[in-house]
Amino acid sequence: MGEQGFLDFNKEASTWTEQEIENFLNDIGNGEGEYDFLKSLTFPDSEEEWLKQEKYLQSLPEDEFAAATKASSFFFAGVFSHFFNTLSLMTHGATLVSLVKRAMEGDDEAFGKAIQVDRFILSHHPYFIDRKQRAQDEGDVVFLRSLAYREANPNLKGKIQYPALFMLFGILEIIGWLDELKHDEILDLCDDIGLDPYQCRIEDTNYLTKRLADYRRFQKTGGMSMR
């Protein structure tokens, strides 16, 4: 599609009706759309293939090389952003984006939680760098101790018993569907995507309801083990 093509598409899509949006999502979510999407994301599966693709990339004209590099950067930035947002939502009940926003508004608890999700923020985000430096300059022991605790502890302090299911809950929550779908509809979704082989069998709606309650408790405890 290209950068300009995407901008044009985004402008056009902003005028769509709800029915047109639903039709578009149905088109890309059906079997044919899924096949086309996965086909476009084929990655080399050997060192030889990686080297071949790298050589091909280096052979492109400068403008095409720059465009390909930019597209790849945006793609992987989106992948990792979505992953960290979901992880943050699973453990803290808030996306990483919202935690960073609250931190920049002066919420030091959100600051610590954001660091716990992604420590690189502390060394790459201007506000986070300045906030830590200010605390050090002012001798803010309380803040620095809290920050040290967050830095020293992994994002998931306790093992998640149902990682695949919790990841699904997180994704549904990000797109606003977790509270909209009925529990039997979520159960059908679990069956459709074949979640059973990856953890304890999701037997019925009652079982799923209990796991959703576990998910909410896990968020409230900030990732502490519930065992």
Write out the DSSP string of 30-85: SHHHHHHHHHHT----SHHHHHHHHHHHHHS-HHHHHHHHHHHHHHHHHHHHHHHH
The structural domain count of the chain equals: 2
Is 80 exceeded by the pLDDT of residue 51? yes
Q: Using a CB cutoff of 8 Å and minimum separation of 24, what contacts does 123-132 make? A: 125/100, 127/103, 128/103, 131/103
5 within a domain of the structure (yes/no)? no
Q: Are residues 135 and 151 in the same domain?
A: yes
10 within a domain of the structure (yes/no)? no
Domain end, chosen from 155, 178, 196, is at: 155
Domain end, chosen from 131, 155, 179, is at: 155
Q: Are residues 145 and 55 in the same domain?
A: yes
4 within a domain of the structure (yes/no)? no
Dist CA 85 CA 20 (whole Å): 28
18 within a domain of the structure (yes/no)? no
Domain end, chosen from 155, 171, 194, is at: 155
Dist CA 86 CA 165 (whole Å): 12
Summarised one tens digit per residue, pLDDT across range 170-221 is: 888 877 888 888 888 888 888 877 776 555 567 788 888 888 888 887 766 5
71 within a domain of the structure (yes/no)? yes
Q: Are residues 109 and 53 in the same domain?
A: yes
Q: Are residues 90 and 131 in the same domain?
A: yes
Q: Are residues 129 and 215 in the same domain?
A: no
Q: Are residues 104 and 147 in the same domain?
A: yes
27 within a domain of the structure (yes/no)? no
Summarised one tens digit per residue, pLDDT across range 121-177 is: 999 999 999 999 999 999 999 999 999 998 888 665 555 667 778 878 888 887 788
**Mean pLDDT over each residue of the chain, to the nearest integer:** 83
| Domain range for 137 | 49-155
Q: Are residues 122 and 204 in the same domain?
A: no
Q: Are residues 145 and 171 in the same domain?
A: no
